[in-house]
A = this chain, B = another copy of it.
Amino acid sequence: MNKIEDLKNIATRLRIHSLKMTTQAGSGHPTTCLSMAELTACLFFDVMRYNPNDPYDWANDEFVLSKGHAAPILWAAYAEAGIVPMDELMNLRKITSVLEGHPTPRMKWVKSATGSLGQGLSVGNGMALAMKMGKSPGRVYVLMGDGECAEGAVWEAANVASNNKLDNLYAIVDINRLGQSEQTMHGHDINAYEKKFKAFAWNTVKINGHNIEEILAAFKKRREKGRPTVILAKTIKGKGVSFVENINGWHGKPLNKEDCEKALQEIGPMPEIKAKKYVKAPKKSNKPRLAKRYDFNRNIYQDATASRFAYGNALLNLGKVNQAVVALDGDVKNSTYNDKFFERFPERSFQNYIAEQGMVGMAMGFAAKGYIPFAATFAAFLCRAHDHIRMAAYSFSNVKFVGSHVGVSIGADGPSQMGLEDLAIFRPIPDCAILYPSDAYSAEGCVESLAKSEGMGYLRTTRPKTPLIYTRKDKFPIGGSKVLKKSEKDVATVIAAGITVHEALKAYQELKKEKINIRVIDAYSIQPIDRRTISRAAKEARNNVVVVEDHFQNGGLGDAVSLALAGEARIVHLCVKELPRSGTPEELLDKYGLNAKHIKKAVKKFINS
């Protein structure tokens, strides 16, 4: 019984911290912290096992605050656990503090940034799968808001969690009724949530989220094995402060100093209790030792090969020497060629079905636990997971994205299947490596470079077969490029990547017959772009530059080259300038001006001007 009183008191301490922190910061979401004070107290000081000295202890339970706007109470819990210095709390949201407005891994116990709602559960899936695979005794606890359950991403993750029998995964939904601008769709109708989670094959437990006994009992309850569990906690937003309790219009608003004083008086004095004594370390469990080599066996190719096919081969061989590599799919593995890995390493292969957000969230979870996920789908469908990709960047996630079927060169399937804006998704992300191979050998080389390099990376692959240009010994470092044709008489530089490299080479051959020399650069590293080589080529070849790419005009290679050359050269940009349509690859490359014919024309226009 003493424990119960202590947990109540810890909840009170967390409330007091949350109020003071947000008032001090002058911004933040105190009321959403107040509704989860008891849940947080119970999780951090009874339910969870973690080694307060090591956020990376393999045996730790993992916690994901999916409702990231409740960051203050998360920081407060870590302070109570002795992990964050108590005075640091008053630095909430300061530019000098890792206690940001929404959680990011700048604070080491946060494994994945949150704050864009509805993503935490998919991250939890990845962590739970990684922990099962690596035999961690830990569990994953994902604390969600009720409002964010409107996000489809929650149901993608709920689906995959039960399908994978993730009984080491707990979701806790803080059902405090109020969203940002009005009551949530279901308000306090806790049964509406229960029906949904039951339909998605979860164990469900309904409780009063302010009752410590009920919370503890919920986590102890025996439940159907092989299923994830959700605790549906009915709570009051602003609980504990009468004048904000359960009142609309208090989302994302700190109390002013006067109101804060009033609130603190209502709550009473800070209970004197050392919460830290309730932190429970986990049983010892060693992280699995995984072979992590990158020098995989390169294949030999005889004929024209699709770069996506070579990627599949490379991933398979990488998987043989690197046990940290896992492959993720959204039911297109026979198109991206992740299927080769899936067949050989089913235990390291994870199907998300047609749910790209869930796939990317899962990848973030795997990366958070030290794995190297390769998440592949059609480049066009990476748009579906753009927000998750963005959050993966803020999570500093070591995730490798692969987008196949890029550009109009996919042909007859039509625009909905053409990746024409994928470079525009990844280029804005600072330090995200983007490689775009043009043949089978470069595809394999790019896989090696991306796998080796810690951090986010994107591989852009092509649907049609393309001729071989390189050898299996060639290297494709991030930031590099290949000068494929060069002479002292070059009148222009053609900068291409992927399928357009072959068009540039055709143009070279045909122009050569007319005694016109051009430089041809394979800019396989879209980001970082090889500024030095490009700039030098421009200078050496009359400052005439033709960029040709199978991508929309904005956001891709053309932008990258323009920025790199800022002011140094004349640039003609051949790219997709209108909304495209179905047709054969050849017809479309011609219609949108991306083939050898148009390259030649652009070069000649330079000469004649």
Chain A residues in the interface with B (C-beta under 8 A): 25-28, 68, 93-95, 97, 100-102, 104, 106, 113-118, 147-148, 150-156, 159, 163, 179-182, 184-185, 195-196, 198-200, 249, 329, 331-335, 339, 351-358, 380-381, 383-384, 386-387, 389-391, 393-394, 396, 411-417, 420-421, 424-425, 427-431, 527, 543, 551-556, 558-560, 562-563, 565-573, 576-579, 581-584, 587-588, 591
Establish whether residues A559 and B555, one from each chain, have CB atoms under 8 Å apart when the complex forms.
yes
The contact sample of 26 A-B pairs, CB cut-off 8 A, is A93-B414, A94-B583, A101-B417, A104-B581, A115-B415, A115-B416, A116-B416, A150-B355, A151-B354, A152-B152, A163-B185, A179-B331, A180-B335, A181-B335, A184-B353, A199-B200, A383-B390, A393-B579, A396-B579, A424-B554, A427-B555, A430-B553, A430-B579, A553-B563, A554-B555, A566-B573
When the two chains form the complex, which single residue of B152, B355, B429, B583 contacts A355, counting CB atoms closer than 8 Å? Answer: B152
CB distance from A566 to the nearest CB of B (A): 4
Chain B: CB-nearest residue to A410: B101
CB distance from A158 to the nearest CB of B (A): 9
A378 to B38, CA, bound (A): 31
A384 to B389, CA, bound (A): 10
Chain B: CB-nearest residue to A122: B152
When the two chains form the complex, which single residue of B94, B115, B386 contacts A383, counting CB atoms closer than 8 Å? Answer: B386
CB distance from A445 to the nearest CB of B (A): 24
Contacts of A563 in B (CB 8 A): 553-554, 558-559, 562, 573
Establish whether residues A95 and B552, one from each chain, have CB atoms under 8 Å apart when the complex forms.
no
Contacts of A249 in B (CB 8 A): 334
Establish whether residues A196 and B200, one from each chain, have CB atoms under 8 Å apart when the complex forms.
yes
Establish whether residues A106 and B573, one from each chain, have CB atoms under 8 Å apart when the complex forms.
no
CB distance from A26 to the nearest CB of B (A): 8
A389 to B424, CA, bound (A): 14
When the two chains form the complex, which single residue of B113, B430, B571 contacts A566, counting CB atoms closer than 8 Å? Answer: B571
Q: Name the 6 nearest CB pairs between A and B, nearest first.
A: A152-B152, A115-B416, A95-B583, A199-B199, A562-B562, A150-B353
A153 to B384, CA, bound (A): 10
Contacts of A568 in B (CB 8 A): 567
Chain B: CB-nearest residue to A354: B150
* Contacts beyond the supplied A100-B582, A356-B387: 11 A-B pairs with Cβ under 8 Å: A28-B412, A93-B583, A95-B587, A104-B581, A181-B331, A184-B353, A249-B334, A380-B387, A384-B387, A421-B428, A431-B578
Establish whether residues B412 and A391, one from each chain, have CB atoms under 8 Å apart when the complex forms.
no
Establish whether residues B148 and A581, one from each chain, have CB atoms under 8 Å apart when the complex forms.
no
CB distance from A87 to the nearest CB of B (A): 18
Contacts of A196 in B (CB 8 A): 196, 199-200
Establish whether residues B416 and A391, one from each chain, have CB atoms under 8 Å apart when the complex forms.
yes
A372 to B551, CA, bound (A): 29
Contacts of A417 in B (CB 8 A): 101-102, 115
- Point out which of A153, A424, A554 has the most chain B C-beta atoms below 10 A from its C-beta: A554
Establish whether residues B181 and A334, one from each chain, have CB atoms under 8 Å apart when the complex forms.
yes
Contacts of A567 in B (CB 8 A): 543, 565, 567-571
CB distance from A593 to the nearest CB of B (A): 13
Contacts of A351 in B (CB 8 A): 182
Contacts of A352 in B (CB 8 A): 150
- Point out which of A182, A414, A571 has the most chain B C-beta atoms below 10 A from its C-beta: A414
When the two chains form the complex, which single residue of B94, B414, B427 contacts A102, counting CB atoms closer than 8 Å? Answer: B414
Contacts of A552 in B (CB 8 A): 428-430
Establish whether residues B578 and A430, one from each chain, have CB atoms under 8 Å apart when the complex forms.
yes
Contacts of A562 in B (CB 8 A): 559, 562-563, 566
Contacts of A335 in B (CB 8 A): 180-181
Establish whether residues A153 and B150, one from each chain, have CB atoms under 8 Å apart when the complex forms.
no
Task: From known contacts A386-B384, A566-B573, infer whether A413 and B181 are also in contact, taking CB-CB under 8 Å.
Answer: no
Contacts of A416 in B (CB 8 A): 68, 102, 104, 113-116, 391, 394
A100 to B583, CA, bound (A): 8
A318 to B220, CA, bound (A): 57
Contacts of A354 in B (CB 8 A): 117-118, 147-148, 150-151, 179
A484 to B604, CA, bound (A): 40
Task: From known contacts A94-B583, A555-B427, infer whether A156 and B151 are also in contact, taking CB-CB under 8 Å.
Answer: yes
Establish whether residues A181 and B559, one from each chain, have CB atoms under 8 Å apart when the complex forms.
no
Establish whether residues A570 and B581, one from each chain, have CB atoms under 8 Å apart when the complex forms.
no
CB distance from A346 to the nearest CB of B (A): 12
A151 to B358, CA, bound (A): 9
Establish whether residues A358 and B180, one from each chain, have CB atoms under 8 Å apart when the complex forms.
no
CB distance from A45 to the nearest CB of B (A): 27
A393 to B416, CA, bound (A): 10
CB distance from A386 to the nearest CB of B (A): 4
A560 to B565, CA, bound (A): 14
Chain B: CB-nearest residue to A197: B199
Chain B: CB-nearest residue to A417: B115
CB distance from A247 to the nearest CB of B (A): 14
Contacts of A358 in B (CB 8 A): 150, 152
Establish whether residues A27 and B428, one from each chain, have CB atoms under 8 Å apart when the complex forms.
no
Contacts of A569 in B (CB 8 A): 567
Establish whether residues A104 and B430, one from each chain, have CB atoms under 8 Å apart when the complex forms.
no
